[in-house]
Chain A
Amino acid sequence: MESLFLQQTLNGLIIGSIYSLIAIGLTMIFGVMKIANFAHGDYSMVGAYTAVFFVAWVPGWFGWVGSILAAAAVVGVLGVVTERLVFRPVIGRWTDIDVIMVSIGLFILLENLAQLFFGATPRIISDPFKGATVNLGGLSTSVLRLFCLGFSCVTIAVLQIFLNRSKFGIAIRAASQNSFAAQLMGIDINLVYRLTFAVGAALAGIGGVLFGTTFAVHPIMGAMPTLKAFIVTILGGMGNIRGAIFGGFILGVAESLGGNYISMQYQHAIGFFIIILVLLVRPSGLFGAKEGT
């Protein structure tokens, strides 16, 4: 059925937009600091929980939008804290392995702290649109999901403007290309590191709220976004923000259509299949030219 194909594509684009949002944060951090952060998805989880509590405090539409901002702020701070306490001491000191390992440690820690404090039962962030659905010429979806798609796109656009026009954004891009040269040009590299982490984590936090409202919030919800973000980042080339944007949508649609036409049970494996294939052909990703661009 043709409309089934379109419906699935729409579903895929919506999920893909959230993937993109979360992946951009990851790829930015990698681009600037060469850190592959396995705890990245947990930033989304913390963002989602922040929203759970914020929305309970300030209900309604206003509360929900506020919770997105609150999540961005809280997770941004968390990002800076983890950067300073956990990652900064480890960068450049040892091998790649150390950084990945320490982020795995962080992942285990955050996930289980959440379980300890919040319990394992899933929580919900109530849908501000109260489950309203819309019909677009035979295609059906909820207003919430459309909003998520729109919001993600807007956030990505705002980010692009930030990176291209603002002083800090340009500093981040400079550091991403060549951090040594950037320092020579007078950029305070520590500030840039902190900023990158703050922004990257905040993006993940926002993605977490969108994800949590659409689905559910629970302590182990961070694992999936982490893996998806990595898949997207690798697809797009690590450090390549535009690659991450495209990669997210591509992954979302691939999973949706793949789940439909190939197999529902292996849906989660689709992403892995894709990157294994891509990496065998192009070891630095689909769009990645050299590392760190």
Chain B
Amino acid sequence: MKKFFIFVFHAIFLAGFSISAVPVSASEPIKIGILGPFTGSLAFNASEMRKGMELALDGVNSKGGLFGRQVELVFGDTEAKPDKGLAAVKKLVTRDNVLVVGGGYASSVNIATSEFCHYEGCPNVVAIAISPTITARGYDFVFRTSPNSPQFLEGVNEWLEKIKRPKTVAFFMENSDYGRDGQKIWEAQCKKLGAKVLGSFYFEIGSSDFTAPISKLKDLKPDVVFSIASTTEAALIQRQAKELNFVSQWIGVGGQFTEAFFEMTGPVSEYAMGSSLEPTKAMKDPITAAFVNAYKAKFPESRPGIFSSQGYDNLMVIVDAIKRAGEPTGNLVADRKKIRDALKVTDIRLSQGLIQFDETGQVFTVFPSPVQVQLDENCKPDTQIIFPPERAASEYQVPKPWAERRCK
């Protein structure tokens, strides 16, 4: 009897699924799947990515869409968990029958989802997720419109070599693949520069109290502290460094310099550096400027940062490829293959710069730059590109001791 009820239960739920399936009609929209951690702790940044995509979508659909058909985004929430991500991508690819899967974010999720897409023959254009593994497995259908972690980290290497030339360094990384890979890459660079590594510390993501390792760092007195952390931890680290009266040149990565970061740190974040893509500071480039202005017009409350521009570029690349591949015939396998071929020869200028893919599907023409947080006359912080001179709007400032700072 019990089992009978279980069966009925099943039946109701399964029925619920079929009812909720979107019916297919004649002039169907062109469907693109987008993955992202839209709920959970990364949701805020994921929504920034989404806003960038919506801007792109508006631009495309207002001009009549593609081949006279509207483009539709189908979102899949990965919750930043690999098994949920797999369920989401399976739904997008096998049930919603999207032509391409875009979006991304969390590396561990995307390693799994991109593999699935490849075996299904569905092009996966990944945004934001930086682990090199994603494009390093020889998966033909997998592309990435964002720089991978080595490319990000190398963004500061030239500056380190030419301008800063530190004698002593330390590492203070989050306990993730990003942090660990980061240490390897930067340690190699330090060896080249002859800089001595005084110490390495790792912290658990989600920690709040860093006073112990910062006290240690204070003791070691390195010229540079490499620190890869995400927004919350990075902000707490900066604040606690101030509390402990510790000054050094902090070098991290762009993902931490979000609105939330500046809200949490205010002027305390002055001098912190990172390797980033900052569209608002690359306004010398007309396409970037156009993106920034359009974004601000559509989302006046929001700041067009690294996540929104990557989202924008990601969707634009997908749309461009579909356009070049020709109108989808309805034969999903063939259509996806054509789009994959079109993606391979992508050559388009977008908000991050030129997008071209190498043989592994990794974009190699986008160059993150070293940025530094600098304060304006009102003590408001913002990131400025400080190198190379052709792109820089500002110059490097050496961190001053806390007591001497203008803005407290």
Q: Please give the residue numbers on chain A whose beta carbons come within 8 Å of chain B beta carbons, in ascending order.
A: 1, 4, 7-8, 11, 15, 115, 119-122, 124, 130-131, 133, 135, 140-142, 145, 215-216, 218, 220, 224, 256, 259-260, 264-265, 267-268
- Is residue B392 contacting chain A, with contact meaning CB distance below 8 A? no
Are the CB atoms of B204 and A120 closer together than 8 Å? no
Shortest Cβ gap from B134 to chain A (Å):
24
Identify B231's interface contact among A122, A145, A265, CB under 8 A. A122
User: Is A264 a contact of B243 with CB atoms below 8 Å?
Assistant: no
Q: In the assembled complex, how far is the CB of residue A60 from the closest CB belonging to chain B, in whole angstroms?
A: 16
CB contact between A265 and one of B44, B203, B244, B408 (< 8 Å): that residue: B203
Q: Is the interface of B mostly helix, strand, loop or mixed?
A: helix
Q: Are A7 and B215 in contact (CB under 8 A)?
A: yes
Please state if B44 and A133 are interface contacts (CB–CB under 8 Å). Answer: no
Within 8 A of A (CB), among B148-205: 175, 201-204
- Is A133 touching B264 in the complex (CB atoms < 8 A)? no
Q: List 18 A-B contacts (CB under 8 A).
A: A4-B219, A11-B212, A115-B39, A119-B43, A120-B42, A122-B232, A131-B243, A131-B268, A133-B244, A216-B236, A224-B206, A256-B211, A256-B212, A259-B213, A260-B216, A264-B202, A264-B213, A267-B207
* Chain A neighbourhood of B333, CB < 8 A: none
**Contact yes or no, B202 A11, CB < 8 A:** no
Residue A216 contacts which of B211, B215, B232, B408 (CB distance < 8 angstroms)? B232
Nearest B residue (CB) for A258 = B212
The main secondary structure of chain A at its interface with chain B is mixed
* Contact count band on B: 35 or more
Chain A positions within 8 Å of B232 at CB level: 122, 216, 218
Out of A120, A124, A259, name the residue touching B212 (CB < 8 Å): A259
Given contacts A122-B232, A122-B264, A124-B263, A135 and B212 within 8 Å (CB-CB): no
Inter-chain contacts of A1 with B (CB < 8 A): 219
B405 to chain A, nearest CB (A): 11
Q: B207's contact among A115, A145, A268, by CB below 8 Å, is which?
A: A268
Within the complex, what minimum Cβ distance (angstroms) separates A149 from chain B?
A: 13
In the bound assembly, the distance between CA atoms of A122 and B39 in angstroms comes to 14
B307 to chain A, nearest CB (A): 13
Tell me whether B408 and A120 are in contact (CB under 8 A).
no
Quick check: A216 and B244 within 8 Å, CB to CB?
Answer: no
The docked-state distance in angstroms from the alpha carbon of A226 to that of B260 is 26
Residues on the B chain within 8 Å of A215, using CB: 208-209, 236
Measured CB to CB, the nearest residue on chain B to A260 is: B212
A131 and B408 in contact, given A120-B41, A120-B43, A216-B264 (Cβ under 8 angstroms): yes
Q: Mark B256-287, 1 if CB is under 8 A from A, else 0.
A: 00001001100010000000000000000000
Whether the Cβ atoms of B41 and A220 lie closer than 8 Å is yes
Note all chain B residues with C-beta closer than 8 A to A142: 242-243
CB distance from A138 to the nearest CB of B (A): 10
Contacts of A268 in B (CB 8 A): 204, 207
Residue of chain B at shortest CB distance from A135: B245
Provide the bound-state CA to CA distance between A8 and B236, in Å.
Answer: 17
Determine if B44 and A120 form an interchain contact, defined as CB atoms under 8 angstroms apart. Answer: yes
Q: Tell me which residues across on chain A come within 8 A of B402, comparing CB atoms.
A: 133
Q: How far is the CB of B324 from chain A (nearest CB, A)?
A: 38
Q: How far, in angstroms, from A124 to B209 measured CA to CA in the complex?
A: 15
Chain B residue at minimal CB-CB distance from A215: B208
Given contacts A4-B215, A122-B235, 19 further A-B contacts (CB under 8 A): A4-B216, A15-B209, A119-B44, A120-B39, A122-B232, A122-B260, A122-B264, A130-B408, A131-B408, A133-B402, A140-B243, A141-B243, A260-B212, A260-B213, A264-B202, A264-B213, A265-B202, A267-B207, A267-B212
Q: Is B90 an interface residue (CB 8 A)?
A: no
- CB proximity of B11 to chain A, nearest CB, Å: 28
Please name all residues of chain A whose beta carbon is closer than 8 Å to the beta carbon of B118 when the two chains form the complex.
none
Which residues of chain B are near A220, meaning CB under 8 Å?
A: 41
The 5 A-B pairs with the shortest beta carbon distances in the complex, nearest first, are A142-B243, A215-B208, A259-B212, A11-B211, A121-B44
Query: How near does chain A come to B303, taking the closest CB pair, in angstroms?
Result: 13
In the bound complex, CA of A133 to CA of B211 (Å): 14
B209 to A264, Cβ gap below 8 A? Answer: no
* CB proximity of A152 to chain B, nearest CB, Å: 15
Chain B 69-104 interface residues, beta-carbon cutoff 8 Å to A: none
**Is B40 in contact with chain A by the CB < 8 A criterion?**
yes
CA distance A259 to B206 in the complex (A): 15
Determine if B204 and A265 form an interchain contact, defined as CB atoms under 8 angstroms apart.
yes
In whole angstroms, what is the CA distance A224 to B41 when docked?
15
Answer yes or no: B337 CB below 8 A from chain A CBs: no
Q: Which residues from chain B contact A130 at a C-beta distance below 8 Å? A: 408
Q: Considering the chains assembled together, what is the distance between the CA atoms of A192 and B118 in angstroms?
A: 63
Cβ-closest chain A residue relative to B236:
A215
Once bound together, how far apart are the Cα atoms of A115 and B42, in whole Å? 12
Contact B212–A216 (Cβ < 8 Å): no
With an 8 A cutoff between CB atoms, is B239 at the interface?
A: yes
Shortest Cβ gap from B313 to chain A (Å): 24
